[in-house]
Amino acid sequence: MFYRRAGLRHTRYQDERQLFPLAFDRGLVLTVLAFLIAAPLLLDRLWLTGYLLPWLIWTSAALGLNLLMGWAGQIHLGYGAVMGIGAYAGVHLVRFGVPLEIAMIAGGIMSAGIGTVFGAAALRMKGIYLAMATLAMQFIVDFVISHNAAISGGTLATLQVPAVRFLGVPLTSDWATYYFALFVCFVITLFMLNVKRTSFGRALAALREKDYAAQILGVSTFRYKLMAFWVSSFIGGVVGTVLAVAYLRAVSPDQFHLELSIQILAMIIVGGLGSVLGPFFGTALILFAPIVLNNLLGSVAATFGLDLPIDMRAHLPLLAYGLLVIGFLLYEPLGLAKLYANFRNYMLVWPFRHAQR
């Protein structure tokens, strides 16, 4: 009934090629977009800066990593370090008085450059070995950042982000930072939606399935592996700058440790590898499940007088985080995006279930 396909007749090629051929999907996407644009008017600050803003930023990062892992099939355990490079490069440039628009791009290029150097390891190895190489990158980058006072910012190792403007709008109010993050996330999402349909995207898919086979078919693995690392790290660097400017507002080395890398990895695993929708769901679950669980436990403890020891209460969200990752891998390896696809298939013919193939 919903997501109706009946009566859909494409008479022009561009109709058939559009991103969302189903009218209902189009409507749904536009509704969500309209809601996100109107959010500063509808929601109070807790929801805006406490939930929507981090959700948009982390989703952007997860999309960047998904390009590398979901599309090109290359493992990366050091994506947090990639973001850190971008954040530090961007913030330093902004502090020198470079406009944010240029600093963002420069941060991206910096990340892309260093990320690709480490990514070059992928030319020689894959699987677990590549995972280890990127893990080593995480530690080396962490060390370099925190041990250069010139990079990390003196004895207190904190870099304050000065007041900046983006396209002429000062990023000081909540709604300005929110729209900034929304804009970046929108651009990255659009890019990801389209990249699948380009020759680049198809080359990455070939690479993922079997790199030797791709090479035999004339897809240069050398070129596309490096390009995958380049593009993904570029997105990571840009998002790193956005994260620093719009959300953290003061960068210190411990914000880009292995925990961030694993968090983003968990987001795309739970969301769905190789899906554009997945990171949106995955980010929401990984970021907010601990918060919701924590608050839920708090209110349960308050209303029912249930007295869990504080250690147990505090560790339950971490336990749940681990269980979520394990549970999804065991029972739904394609993640929340697949669950949504199942739901969509169900609703496609609802209530005439017998029509389902």
Partner 1 sequence: MSIDRRSFIAGTAAVAAQFGFASRVYAEDKIVRFTIAQDFTRIYTFVTSEYNQGQRDYFALVNERGGVGGYKIVADVTDHANDLPRAIEAYERGKREGAVLIDPLSTPVARALVPRALEDKINMITAYSGRSDAADGTAFPYVLPLSINYWTQAGLIIENFKKTEKGSLKGKKIVFVHIDTPFGKEPLSILQVLAQKEGFELLTFPYTPPGNDQSAIWPQVRRARPDFVIFWGAGVGQTVALTEAIRNGLPMDRVSSSVWLSESDMDVVGRDAAKGVMKVEPCVGGREPKVIKDILAEVVAKGKGAGPEAKVGTAYYNYGVQMGALMVEGVRLAAAKAPNGPVTGPWLNDGLRSITNFTAEGLLPPTTVTREDHQGGGMGRIARWDGAKFVPVTDWFAANQDVVWSEIKKNSETFKTTGK
Partner 2 sequence: MDWMLIAELAVNGVFVGLMYALVSLGMVLIYKTSGIANLAQGAIAMTGGYVAWVLLAGLGAPVWLAIPGALVGMFAFGMLIERVALRRMIGQPVIMTIMLTLGIEIMLRGLLPGVFGASVKRLDIGIPQAPLFVADLLINRATLIGGGISLVLIVASLIFFNSRFGVVMRAVADDQTASWSVGIRVERAIAVAWGLGAVAATAAGILWGSTQGVDWSLSLLLIKALAIAILGGLDSIGGVLIAGVIVGVAESLATGVVDPLVGGGTRDIVAAVIILATLLFKPHGLFGREHIERV
When the beta carbons of 21 and 333 are compared against partner 2, the nearer one is 333
Q: Which of residues 316-345 bind partner 2 (CB under 8 A)?
A: 316-326, 329-330, 333
CB proximity list for 293: less than 8 A, separation 6 or greater: 316, 317, 320
Residue 241 Cβ vs partner 1, minimum distance, rounded to whole Å: 16
Stretch that binds partner 2, among 5-13, 56-64, 183-191, 264-272 (CB under 8 A): 264-272
Nearest to 230 by CA among 119, 135, 85, 139: 119
- Does residue 258 belong to the site contacting partner 1 (CB under 8 A)? no
Neighbours of 143 (CB within 10 A): 11
143 and 132 Cβ atoms separated by less than 8 Å: no
- Does residue 260 belong to the site contacting partner 2 (CB under 8 A)? no
- Does residue 150 belong to the site contacting partner 2 (CB under 8 A)? no
Residue 133 Cβ vs partner 1, minimum distance, rounded to whole Å: 21
Using the structure block, give the residue that is written with the tokens 């953290």. 248
Nearest to 78 by CA among 156, 145, 153: 145
When the beta carbons of 105 and 144 are compared against partner 2, the nearer one is 144
Using the structure block, give the residue that is written with the tokens 């790193």. 240
- Does residue 298 belong to the site contacting partner 2 (CB under 8 A)? no
Of the candidate residues 140, 205, 277, 348, the single one contacting partner 2 (CB under 8 A): 140
- Does residue 17 belong to the site contacting partner 2 (CB under 8 A)? no
Give the total of residues touching partner 2 (CB under 8 A).
49
In the chain, the N- to C-terminal Cα span, in Å, equals: 15
Q: Which of residues 266-285 bind partner 2 (CB under 8 A)?
A: 266, 269, 273
Residue 140 Cβ vs partner 1, minimum distance, rounded to whole Å: 13
HSE value, Cβ hemisphere, 13 Å, CA-based, for 214: 22
Measured over the CA atoms of residue 304, residue 306, residue 310 and residue 314, the dihedral's sign is negative
**Site map for partner 1, 286-325, x if CB under 8 A?**
-x--xxx-xxx-xx--x------xxx-xxx-xx-------
Q: Which of residues 86-115 bind partner 1 (CB under 8 A)?
A: 95
Residue 19 Cβ vs partner 2, minimum distance, rounded to whole Å: 27
Q: How far apart are CA 57 and CA 158, in angstroms?
A: 21
When the beta carbons of 63 and 248 are compared against partner 1, the nearer one is 248
Instruction: Decide which of partner 2, partner 1, none touches 139; Cβ closer than 5 to 8 Å per partner kind.
Output: partner 2
Q: Which of residues 64-93 bind partner 2 (CB under 8 A)?
A: 69, 73, 75
Give the DSSP H/E element, type plus range, for residue 159. strand 159-160
In the chain, DSSP finds a helix count (H) and a strand count (E) of 16, 4
Neighbours of 31 (CB within 10 A): 10
Q: How far apart are CA 42 and CA 97, in angstroms?
A: 35
Stretch that binds partner 2, among 39-47, 136-144, 159-167, 297-305 (CB under 8 A): 136-144
Residue 161 DSSP SS3:
coil
Preceding omega of 99 cis (within 30 degrees of 0): no
Give the footprint of partner 2 on this chain (CB under 8 A).
Answer: 69, 73, 75, 121, 124-125, 127-129, 131-133, 135-140, 143, 146-147, 210, 212-213, 216, 262, 265-266, 269, 273, 309, 311-312, 314-326, 329-330, 333
